């Protein structure tokens, strides 16, 4: 099922699937669109990747709701870390919950053939609902939900955001080619992987805190929001576009510069950025 954005894929599908009798159990770090999708249902959140808390909630809600759905990201958008999908699937099975994975940042990047965090953990056939976006690896605009055919048909008739709003333009068909290229030209994924390793190691050797990223999202954690904005401006002046991430996207004390490494970045690009960070570290 195609939606006009990844945001709508999450918000519309969840609003259609989960109601007052149901409960969404979400990792605290999921994307804002998931939170919006849960507005018509009950919601409990567990601390990021904390499996004990997740299990506690699953135990607490046993027998109380019609449908339980665990909702997580495959790759988290601010830290770039990957969810322990195998363990979460196991918990979902044990307590009879559905599992929805938003792999917006995993598809095309993670897994042997680019099939995302689900491929990395060999659970591709065990995720009930996969959602994602065309705005990252596929370099387009749009979003999708992968679900059994009957559920996809139900979403088509139940999603107000789909029925009462313009649909995707024919240009979205270009995404089909982008999907084919992931299989046909694996060298891009390999090159991305090399770039990620090179850039991440470079930042670490400068003594910068990149956290626990396992993907193309590389944060440089600074903490103070004012300092983070200043670093963003200095990088921009040096000709480098990054995303300074501040509250409410992250907690107030967790401000960071967030970067996304691409396969088309050259060594020159990456070195220029590393040199800029080195300079900023020296003068700040
Ligand atoms: C994890 C995650 N899901 C969904 C989205 C929304 O996708 P889109 O930009 O296509 O609306 C984003 C960010 O853009 C994201 O980081």
pLDDT tens for each residue of 68-80: 999 999 999 999 9
**E strand or H helix at 204, and its extent?**
helix 187-205
pLDDT band for position 16 (cuts 50, 70, 90): very high
- The model's pLDDT over 153-182, given as tens digits with 9 standing for 90+, comes to 999 999 999 999 998 999 999 999 999 999
Query: Does the domain made of 2-181 have the CATH classification 3.30.530.20?
Result: no
What tokens does 40 get? 């018509």
In the chain, pLDDT over 90 holds for what percent of residues? 97
| Per-domain boundaries in the chain | 2-181, 187-283
CA distance 265 to 138: 16
Residue from 3, 48, 135, 245 to probe ligand 1 pocket by mutation (most atoms less than 8 Å from CB): 135
Determine the average pLDDT of the residues in 191-215: 97
- Whose CA is closest to atom 7 on ligand 1? 6
Residue from 4, 10, 31, 36 to probe ligand 1 pocket by mutation (most atoms less than 8 Å from CB): 31
Region of 111 please: left (phi>0), alpha (psi -120 to 50) or beta: left
Q: Do domains 2-181 and 187-283 have the same CATH topology?
A: no
In this predicted structure, the answer to whether residue 284 has a pLDDT above a threshold of 90 is: no
pLDDT for the residue 276? 98
In the chain, pLDDT over 70 holds for what percent of residues? 100
- The model's pLDDT over 221-254, given as tens digits with 9 standing for 90+, comes to 999 999 999 999 999 999 999 999 999 889 899 9
CATH of 187-283, picked from 3.10.580.10, 3.30.70.20, 3.40.440.10, 3.90.1150.10, is 3.90.1150.10
| This prediction's pTM | 0.95
In this predicted structure, the answer to whether residue 121 has a pLDDT above a threshold of 90 is: yes
Pocket of ligand 1 (CB under 6 A): 5-7, 10, 31, 33, 73, 77, 102, 104-105, 133, 135, 143
- Active-site residue numbers? 77, 105, 136
pLDDT for the residue 282? 93
């Amino acid at each position: 099922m195609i939606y006009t954005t990844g945001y709508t894929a999450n918000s519309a599908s969840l609003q259609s699937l989960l109601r007052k009798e149901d409960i969404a159990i979400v990792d605290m770090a999921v994307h804002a669109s998931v939170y919006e999708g849960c507005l018509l249902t009950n919601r409990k959140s567990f601390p990021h990747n904390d499996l004990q808390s997740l299990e506690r909630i699953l135990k607490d809600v046993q027998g109380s709701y019609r449908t339980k759905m665990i909702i997580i990201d495959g790759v988290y958008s601010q830290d770039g870390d990957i969810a322990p999908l195998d363990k979460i699937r196991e918990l979902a099975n044990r307590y009879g919950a559905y599992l929805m994975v938003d792999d917006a940042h995993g598809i095309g990047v993670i897994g042997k053939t680019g099939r995302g965090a689900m491929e990395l953990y060999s659970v591709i056939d065990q995720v009930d609902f996969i959602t994602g976006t065309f705005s990252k690896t596929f370099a387009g605009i749009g979003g999708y939900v992968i679900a059994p055919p009957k559920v996809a048909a139900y979403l088509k008739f139940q999603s107000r955001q789909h029925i009462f709003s313009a649909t995707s333009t024919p240009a979205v068909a270009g995404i089909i080619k982008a999907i084919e290229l992931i299989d046909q030209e694996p060298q891009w994924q390999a090159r991305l992987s090399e770039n990620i390793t090179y850039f991440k190691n470079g930042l670490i050797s400068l003594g910068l805190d990149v956290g626990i990223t396992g993907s193309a999202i590389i944060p440089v954690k600074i903490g103070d929001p004012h300092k983070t904005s200043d670093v963003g401006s200095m990088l921009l002046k040096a000709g480098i576009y990054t995303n300074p991430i501040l509250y409410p996207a992250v907690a107030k004390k967790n401000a960071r510069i967030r970067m996304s490494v691409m396969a088309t970045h050259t060594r020159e690009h990456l070195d220029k950025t590393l040199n800029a960070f080195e300079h900023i570290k020296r003068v700040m």
